[in-house]
Structure 1
Amino acid sequence: MTVIVTPRLILRRARPSDLDDLHAVMSHPEAMRYWSTPPHGDIAQTRDFLAAMIAGTPDDSDDFMVELPAAGGRVIGKAGCWRVPEIGYILHPDFWGRGLAREALEAILPHVFARFPVDALTADVDPRNAASLRLLARLGFRETGRAERTWLVGDAWCDSVYLALPRPAAG
């Protein structure tokens, strides 16, 4: 089981005991504002989501829980590739603006490139999510296209900005 330790985080595989912490993220309207589904209405929905993460095959996924030791080991979100090559992440809003998403992704991106023979990692971001677009740009992602009405979230259509991060040159 892969565990990545950064100066402030532990990035590890999901486990059933993460349910309450993950539900605190997935049920939070602000955290889920730009997610591909509405906030989770009950813990059973998060349980199903977590079970799918745990069951994800290592051949096509590399997803991590974001654990913050300074918060008593609380899981504050998740980051990684639910399906390679698409990267994604979500953190509880209480932990936004501290550079934690960047710290997690700076550790995860080289790990994913080392594990999978992909030419690039991709991201699909709601164009209203300026903070994520800035973060991904700082990490080297570049826009490759846009599309309208790509996600039906609840009863609202959302658009997409597509981004890619090429595999770093060897050497």
Structure 2
Amino acid sequence: MDLHAENGALTPIIQTERLTLRPLAPSDIADLHVIAAQWPVVRQLGGWPWPANLAFTASRSVPYTGQGFVWGVEAAGKIIGSVAVTRGELGYMIHQDYWRRGIGKTVVAAALDRAFCQDNCPVINASVWADNAASAKLLCSFGFTHWHTRYEQAIARGYPVLSHYYRLTRPAWDGLRNTAKSRNSGA
């Protein structure tokens, strides 16, 4: 892993002008709980309860120690979302006040790059509810392809919802990155 604790503080994984991607910590619970209390966000998540549950949020406000990684997305000193690839599955959420600003695209690109290039994942899966066109569009912009559809229980919604499954292979990601590099270099 490319970060470590120094004097109790976790160092950032990725730092840009406007965002820091870093492990979540117990001190992030208040910011994360604000996001968990936003119905437009939580209704699109597969594993978060509604209404927001502080104990559940606390269980997600810790550094992840399983297979893969979970990063908090920090802007202006507060957590505005998270992005993760755990057990080969991509997931993300962004505070609704930060939608349509390119943040999702930035954090998903960083997560895919980490998962494929450093963690050497052969394939990454993702799923979106059928009524989440924005996330489906985001996934497709990275080369994800649809491979399966089925109904699943939506925890926050309390009923089964049609879910679309997407996957992205390492060769497809490499091809997309090489195409982007060629365009950027003028080749």
Same fold by TM-score greater than 0.5: yes
2: CA distance, partners of 1:33 / 1:152: 8
Deviation per CA, 1:134-169, whole angstroms, max 9, x where unpaired? 111111111111112x22425311221010111134
Q: Percent identity?
A: 28
1: CA distance, partners of 2:148 / 2:52: 32
Structure 2 unmatched runs, 5+: 4-11, 179-187
Larger radius of gyration: 2
1:153 maps to 2:164: no
Q: Which amino acid aligns with 2:39?
A: P
TM-score (norm 2): 0.79
Deviation per CA, 1:48-91, whole angstroms, max 9, x where unpaired? 2224xx2423xx1211100013xxx111010021x221001001
Superposition misfits of 4+ residues, deviation over 6 angstroms: none
Question: What is residue 92 of structure 2 aligned with on the other side?
Answer: 89
Structure 1 unmatched runs, 5+: none
TM-score (norm 1): 0.86
2: CA distance, partners of 1:80 / 1:88: 5
1:117 maps to 2:124: no
Question: What is residue 185 of structure 2 aligned with on the other side?
Answer: none
Please, what is the CA RMSD of the aligned residues?
1.8
Question: What is residue 139 of structure 2 aligned with on the other side?
Answer: 136
Deviation per CA, 1:110-141, whole angstroms, max 9, x where unpaired? 11112323221110111110000011111111
Question: What is residue 49 of structure 2 aligned with on the other side?
Answer: 38
2: CA distance, partners of 1:38 / 1:4: 29
Call closer, same or farther: CA 1:61–1:76 in 2, change over 3 Å: same
Question: What is residue 79 of structure 1 aligned with on the other side?
Answer: 83
Please tell me whether the aligned partners of residues 3 and 11 of structure 1 are also in contact (alpha carbons under 8 angstroms).
yes
Please tell me whether the aligned partners of residues 85 and 121 of structure 1 are also in contact (alpha carbons under 8 angstroms).
yes
How far 1:40 sits from its partner (Å)?
A: 4.5
Secondary structure, counterpart of 2:39 in structure 1? coil
Aligned residues: 162
Question: What is residue 11 of structure 1 aligned with on the other side?
Answer: 21
Please tell me whether the aligned partners of residues 23 and 64 of structure 2 are also in contact (alpha carbons under 8 angstroms).
no
Q: Which amino acid aligns with 2:131?
A: R
